[in-house]
Amino acid sequence: MITDPIADMFARIKNAIVRKKEFVKIPGSKFKKAILDLLKKEKYILDYSIEPLSEYSYNFVVKLKYYKGKSVINDIVRLSKPGRRIYKSYNEIPKVLSGMGLTILSTSKGVVSHREAIKNKVGGEVIGFVY
């Protein structure tokens, strides 16, 4: 049993990037799908597909993105954890690399980037950073 599935997903992505893998398999959930949709929208991954395992479980097969042999994702960090949740209002959202990176937030409007949260004036749980 995994106590923090999002941290596990981030660790799998980091490990696959270090090994220069083209694909990485991640156990599926709706929340992970929302994060992958955001990463795809912000062009940090190429695409992902769903690989059914049984009637109730599935994996995501994530196609990682590389540019000139180097990964687009330098690091992906989990900030809010099950033991220590971090919530911020829209005007307190931390920016990575002065806004060049991506802050992932879980808000009442769904999983969004820091740019969308500030534009829509919604705060929420700071899931992590990608840069």
- pLDDT of 43: 97
- pLDDT of 81: 95
- pLDDT of 2: 86
CA 31, distance to chain mean position in Å, is 10
Q: Which domains does the chain have, with CATH numbers?
A: 5-130 (3.30.1490.10)
Q: Which two tokens stand for residue 5?
A: 């599935």
Q: Which two tokens stand for residue 46?
A: 């190429």
- pLDDT of 4: 96
8 Å CB contact between 131 and 74: yes
What value does the mean pLDDT of the chain take?
96
Q: Which two tokens stand for residue 105?
A: 């937030």
Mind listing the pLDDT tens digit of every residue in the chain (131 residues)? Answer: 789 999 999 999 999 999 999 999 999 999 999 999 999 999 999 999 999 999 999 999 999 999 999 999 999 999 999 999 999 999 999 999 988 999 999 999 999 999 999 999 999 999 999 99
- pLDDT of 21: 97
Q: Which two tokens stand for residue 41?
A: 């929208």
- pLDDT of 40: 98
- pLDDT of 73: 97
What percentage of the chain has pLDDT greater than the value 90?
97
